[in-house]
Amino acid sequence: MALRCCFRCVYGIYNSRIGRWFHNCMIKNRHERRIRSKLGIEHSRVDKEVLDFSSFKVKIVPLGRTNYSYFIQDTSTGYLGVVDPGDPDYLSSVADKFFKKPISVVLLTHKHWDHSAGILKLSKVYPGLQVYASKEEPAFEVTHTVSDNEIIHLGQTHIRTINTPVHTKGSVCFFIESDRAQPVVFTGDTFFLGGMGAFFEGDIKSACASVSKLISLPNETLMFPGHEYSDTTMKFALYLQPQNEAVKRKVSWIVKRRARYMVTIPSTIKEEKSYNPFFRIYDPNFITMIGARFYLEAIAKIQEMRMRKRNEYRNLELKIYPRID
């Protein structure tokens, strides 16, 4: 009980303006250290500067130690949006130098400062900035609140909201579907490659509902999460599914990528269904394998094991497995 009260107190302070100040100090210090060491700001390298989806474009922006922000640009109008602006100065410089366009829209997946701390400064740099977040999320500087399944317009690009109240009460994913390219979804800290975010403010039922929404998206949907956490998430996936060939193939690929500091995102919904334990809670074979009887029990057991067995799976070695065709 004392530990829970302590967590609530610290968590409350983190989500206050004190937390934003602390986060911005940390970002500034990290930038200064990396500049002095003649290192880039990004924690990982990308394959392409911009991913072209015909009617819109996406630019992956690695920030901080593990965070990802994303630029979305509507092709027909040039309007520019950003998902989860945790670092306003760096994102402003990218918008000005790379896109040569002002940021007009912010899409906030959740309130945590590593995703939202830049909104205040961006609002001053770009007057009239439209900031979208869930109506259930008590975030600062939000100008437009949205409910589940609403449409946000970025020029001619239509962005659909998907409420996923697990990591925080107002966590939301942003889904874009195109007639001429793969659909994409930005999941924040609700879903990662191979895993799921901490259940800070949600419960097992809300987690199941959120999983159901994501796995119902088209299989080819590209998933862009809020962090580069594949090293950790795939250790847990491997711990639960040591004989799963899809897990081994993905682990081998990740090991090769991270050895070169390359990003491991995006994945696809189809891929996630094959190795992400949280995406497999409706698979009868997986449910039986972990000793559960139905999907609610399965996700509860996965979550319990993720917490209780942490020391065991974090010590697993990720390696390159022999290829089996």
Active-site positions? 110, 112, 114-115, 167, 189, 227
State how far the Cα of 240 lies from the Cα of 243, in Å rounded to an integer. Answer: 9
- Smallest CA-to-CA distance from 72 within 61, 88, 87, 86 is with 61
Please report, as a single letter, which amino acid is at residue 155.
Answer: G
CA 231 to chain centre: 15
Rg (CA), the chain: 19
DSSP one-letter code for 277: G
Sign of the Cα pseudo-torsion (138, 144, 147, 153, in order): negative
Residues 297/290, Cβ–Cβ less than 8 Å: no
Residue 190, number of CB atoms within 10 A of its CB: 30
- Smallest CA-to-CA distance from 222 within 260, 262, 188, 182 is with 182
Please report, as a single letter, which amino acid is at residue 160.
Answer: R
Q: Can you list the positions of beta strands (E) in the chain?
A: 51-52, 56-63, 67-74, 80-83, 103-107, 130-134, 144-146, 151-154, 157-163, 172-176, 184-188, 191-192, 195-196, 222-225, 267-268
State how far the Cα of 113 lies from the Cα of 111, in Å rounded to an integer. Answer: 6
State how far the Cα of 79 lies from the Cα of 82, in Å rounded to an integer. Answer: 10
60, β-bridge pairs: 70
